[in-house]
């Protein structure tokens, strides 16, 4: 029987626990630090009775609305007379807190101790692991000891043993995990294993996309997503270069934006500030870069892309975590191996129907899935997780002053409206560098600065999300609403 309140003790020190439709309220007058906790059911990690009579409740909660989530434990011996009511109450709490989810997830945790400012291991031990333990998750952790280690782990991952892969890193290690899945004995099934980032790198674009810019500052929110997020299908992108096929989940860039990523590796200790320093260096150099870019275009009207944003998200949110979600609707994968390439590869005709070509010196070419590429740059404000399209931006050269001004508001995606930014939604694209020197960065990895092709695979990969869509605010300018 559902039970919605529990009183333990007597007199002024009576502890009262109340379960409402949306919240768990813990009133403990004797608890000096947390006499009153009111937290959303999403933040409830565990409630139960251990050893026959020990009440255990663990939640994440804040004292002030904007402060980071703290881990709060309630523990105490339940008198014999109250054990049945305590058991009924905790079971109601667990039922409500994990509605549509399975508690005690089995998590494969990969920690890159070298990512960003190098605090991944410390953050795991101090902030993340205690939350997983409080939620009674089964945690199998590996600290990566070298580049490509995350890829090896993903490639050999026993898929039946885990419910999700948690990656404490920046975006580079997530790239490795998806490429490990591509090389797995059963890639189609491997790609349905949910991956979820905990941001300890420099850019952390994927965490910003899944949690939102503010929430991504709080490692507890990322840990909570690993426990409470539902699988969300995401598009992955095949990159073909010199006959080699790799998988990208996030961005490809050339020109200024590649220089400020790959050209600032030595400034890793600065965290995300390294990208600002890199950008200022590019402003001083003020160069343009020649490419031939061919795009199989699905949409090129910036206003239309923004107009559909809210409706697409509302639908995604409504079906997220239900049988109708794209993740469940596609059911178990039927084909083994990677999807066939339809638009690129030998015999592809980039001058054919639906393709456009752009060939002149530009400031940068940037293609990506997910709005944020770092916390300070919302490069693709109208990106959707699984629309089957990649957003491609070609930015023409502009004055130094306009480059600096373009930085202002970039965390809100305001550069999107600049006339020099040509924005496309694409099924596939191809870039041919017309000058030998330069950088090509794919998900932050250095690739040869040579011709490559890219094609999107709708819903191939899986993230965990508590929302069903990316978490960025973006809308039409006031004069067009
Ligand atoms: N123990 C290690 N020693 C050296 N390099 C490692 C180790 N473990 C992982 N790596 C490499 O570190 C690289 C960068 O990691 P990651 O992307 O996680 O951090 P980041 O580059 O700081 O963040 P972001 O991608 O968000 O900018 C990865 O490509 C991975 O191969």
Nearest-CA neighbor of 400 among 363, 441, 437, 431? 363
Mutational test site, ligand 1, from 123, 143, 147, max ligand atoms within 8 Å of CB: 147
- Rounded to the nearest whole angstrom, what is the distance from the C-alpha of residue 294 to the centroid of ligand 1? 31
Distance (Å, rounded) from C-alpha 168 to C-alpha 126?
A: 13
Q: Judge whether 390 and 367 are in contact, CB under 8 Å.
A: yes
Report the pLDDT value the prediction gives residue 306, as an integer from 0 to 100.
95
Question: Domains of the chain, with CATH numbers?
Answer: 5-97 (2.30.29.30), 106-228 (3.40.50.10330), 239-480 (2.60.200.40)
Work out which ligand 1 atom sits closest to the CA atom of 167.
18
Distance (Å, rounded) from C-alpha 173 to C-alpha 139?
A: 19
* Structure token digits, residue 233: 């299908």
* Structure token digits, residue 4: 């919605």
Work out which ligand 1 atom sits closest to the CA atom of 144.
8
User: HSE-up of 199 (CA within 13 Å, CB side)?
Assistant: 27
Lowest mean pLDDT: which of 228-242, 276-290, 324-338? Answer: 324-338
Residue 3, pLDDT above cutoff 70: no
- Rounded to the nearest whole angstrom, what is the distance from the C-alpha of residue 93 to the centroid of ligand 1? 39
Report the pLDDT value the prediction gives residue 332, as an integer from 0 to 100.
59
Q: Which residue has the tokens 């000058």?
A: 435
Report the pLDDT value the prediction gives residue 286, as an integer from 0 to 100.
80
Q: Judge whether 447 and 441 are in contact, CB under 8 Å.
A: yes
Instruction: Identify the band that residue 155 occupies on the pLDDT scale cut at 50, 70 and 90.
Output: very high
Following CA atoms 22, 28, 29, 32 in sequence, which dihedral angle do they give, to the nearest 10 degrees?
-110
Lowest mean pLDDT: which of 37-46, 196-205, 271-280? Answer: 271-280
Distance (Å, rounded) from C-alpha 20 to C-alpha 373?
A: 38
Lowest mean pLDDT: which of 133-142, 145-154, 262-271? Answer: 262-271
Residues 6+ apart with CB under 8 A from 244: none
- Rounded to the nearest whole angstrom, what is the distance from the C-alpha of residue 153 to the centroid of ligand 1? 15
Mutational test site, ligand 1, from 124, 150, 170, max ligand atoms within 8 Å of CB: 170
Query: Which residues approach ligand 1 with their CB closer than 6 A?
Result: 112-116, 144-149, 169-173, 176, 201-204, 268, 444
Task: State how far Cα 316 lies from the chain centre.
Answer: 16
- Which of 327 and 286 is assigned the larger pLDDT? 327
- Rounded to the nearest whole angstrom, what is the distance from the C-alpha of residue 219 to the centroid of ligand 1? 18
Predicted confidence (pLDDT) per residue in 460-480, tens digit: 999 999 999 999 999 988 777
Q: Judge whether 70 and 60 are in contact, CB under 8 Å.
A: yes
Provide mean pLDDT across the span 145-170: 97
- Rounded to the nearest whole angstrom, what is the distance from the C-alpha of residue 237 to the centroid of ligand 1? 21
H-assigned helices in 28-182: 83-97, 120-123, 129-134, 149-155, 171-182
* Structure token digits, residue 333: 């994968």
Most confident among 41-55, 266-280, 281-295 (mean pLDDT): 41-55
Residue 334, pLDDT above cutoff 60: yes
Report the pLDDT value the prediction gives residue 177, as an integer from 0 to 100.
98
- What percent helix, strand, coil does the chain show, rounded to 5? 30, 30, 35
Instruction: Identify the band that residue 425 occupies on the pLDDT scale cut at 50, 70 and 90.
Output: very high
Q: Which residue has the tokens 């979820």?
A: 196
Task: Quote the pTM value.
Answer: 0.94
Task: State how far Cα 281 lies from the chain centre.
Answer: 29
* Structure token digits, residue 76: 């105490």
Distance (Å, rounded) from C-alpha 267 to C-alpha 322?
A: 44
- Rounded to the nearest whole angstrom, what is the distance from the C-alpha of residue 115 to the centroid of ligand 1? 4
Work out which ligand 1 atom sits closest to the CA atom of 148.
31
- Rounded to the nearest whole angstrom, what is the distance from the C-alpha of residue 385 to the centroid of ligand 1? 24
Predicted confidence (pLDDT) per residue in 279-325, tens digit: 888 777 888 889 999 999 999 999 999 999 989 999 999 999 998 89
- DSSP count for the chain of H helices, then E strands: 14, 24
Work out which ligand 1 atom sits closest to the CA atom of 445.
29
Lowest mean pLDDT: which of 139-143, 175-179, 323-327, 380-384? Answer: 323-327
- Rounded to the nearest whole angstrom, what is the distance from the C-alpha of residue 108 to the centroid of ligand 1? 18
Q: What is the ipTM of this complex?
A: 0.95
Report the pLDDT value the prediction gives residue 248, as an integer from 0 to 100.
98
Using a 10 angstrom Cβ sphere, with 0-12 exposed, 13-18 middle and 19 or more buried, the burial of residue 32 is: exposed
Instruction: Identify the band that residue 481 occupies on the pLDDT scale cut at 50, 70 and 90.
Output: low
User: HSE-up of 325 (CA within 13 Å, CB side)?
Assistant: 25
Nearest-CA neighbor of 388 among 416, 425, 335, 357? 425
Mutational test site, ligand 1, from 169, 176, 265, max ligand atoms within 8 Å of CB: 169
Distance (Å, rounded) from C-alpha 340 to C-alpha 288?
A: 35
Q: Judge whether 102 and 72 are in contact, CB under 8 Å.
A: no
The DSSP bridge partners found for residue 441 are 253, 446
Residue 1, pLDDT above cutoff 60: no
What percent of the chain is modeled with pLDDT above 90?
74
Atom 29 of ligand 1, nearest CA residue = 172
Distance (Å, rounded) from C-alpha 193 to C-alpha 224?
A: 18
Instruction: Identify the band that residue 116 occupies on the pLDDT scale cut at 50, 70 and 90.
Output: confident
For the chain, give the mean pLDDT.
92
- Rounded to the nearest whole angstrom, what is the distance from the C-alpha of residue 306 to the centroid of ligand 1? 34
Question: C-alpha distances in angstroms, 208 versus 147, 366, 390?
Answer: 24, 18, 18
Task: State how far Cα 391 lies from the chain centre.
Answer: 17
Distance (Å, rounded) from C-alpha 391 to C-alpha 421?
A: 12
Q: DSSP string spanning 413-453?
A: TGGGG-TTEEEEEEEEEEEEESSS---EEETTEEE-SS-EE
Residue 259, pLDDT above cutoff 70: yes
């Amino acid at each position: 029987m559902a039970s919605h309140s529990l009183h333990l003790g007597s007199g002024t020190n009576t502890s009262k626990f109340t379960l409402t439709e949306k919240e768990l309220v813990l009133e403990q007058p004797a608890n000096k630090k947390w006499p009153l906790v009111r937290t959303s059911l999403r933040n409830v990690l565990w409630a139960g009775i251990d050893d026959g009579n020990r009440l255990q409740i663990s939640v994440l909660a804040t004292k002030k609305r904007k402060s980071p989530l703290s881990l709060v434990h309630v523990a105490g011996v339940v008198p014999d007379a109250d054990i049945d009511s305590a058991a009924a109450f905790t079971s109601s709490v667990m039922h409500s807190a994990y509605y549509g989810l399975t508690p005690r997830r089995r998590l494969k945790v990969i920690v890159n101790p070298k990512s960003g400012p190098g605090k991944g291991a410390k953050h795991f031990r101090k902030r993340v692991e205690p939350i997983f333990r409080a939620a009674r998750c089964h945690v199998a952790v590996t600290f990566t000891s070298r580049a490509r280690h995350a890829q090896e782990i993903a490639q050999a991952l026993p898929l039946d043993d885990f419910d999700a892969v948690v990656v404490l890193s920046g975006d580079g290690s997530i790239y490795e995990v998806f490429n490990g899945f591509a090389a797995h004995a059963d890639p189609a099934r491997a790609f349905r294993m949910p991956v979820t980032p905990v941001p300890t790198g420099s850019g952390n674009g994927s965490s910003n996309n899944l949690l939102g810019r503010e929430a991504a500052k709080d490692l507890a929110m990322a840990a909570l997503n690993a426990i409470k997020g539902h699988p969300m299908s995401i598009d992955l992108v095949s990159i073909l270069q010199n006959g080699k096929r790799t998988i990208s989940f996030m961005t490809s860039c050339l020109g200024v934006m590649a220089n400020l990523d790959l050209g600032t590796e030595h400034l890793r200790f600065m965290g995300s500030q390294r990208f600002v320093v890199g950008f200022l260096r590019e402003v001083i150099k003020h160069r343009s870069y020649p490419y031939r870019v061919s795009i199989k275009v699905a949409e090129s009207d910036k206003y239309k892309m923004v107009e559909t944003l809210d409706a697409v998200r509302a639908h995604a949110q409504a079906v997220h975590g239900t049988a109708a979600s794209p993740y469940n609707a596609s059911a178990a994968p039927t084909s083994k191996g990677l999807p066939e390439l339809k638009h690129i590869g030998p015999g592809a005709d980039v001058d054919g129907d639906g393709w456009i070509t752009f060939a002149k010196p530009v400031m940068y070419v940037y293609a990506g899935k997910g709005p944020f590429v770092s916390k300070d740059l919302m490069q693709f404000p109208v990106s959707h997780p699984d629309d089957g399209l990649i957003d491609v931006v070609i930015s023409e050269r502009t004055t130094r002053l306009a480059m600096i001004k373009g930085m202002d508001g970039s965390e809100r995606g305001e550069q999107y409206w600049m006339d020099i930014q040509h924005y496309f939604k694409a099924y596939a694209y191809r870039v041919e560098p017309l000058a030998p020197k330069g950088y090509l960065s794919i998900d932050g990895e250095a690739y040869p600065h040579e011709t490559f092709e890219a094609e999107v695979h709708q819903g191939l990969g899986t993230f965990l999300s508590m929302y069903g869509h990316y978490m960025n605010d973006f809308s039409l300018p006031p004069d067009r609403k």
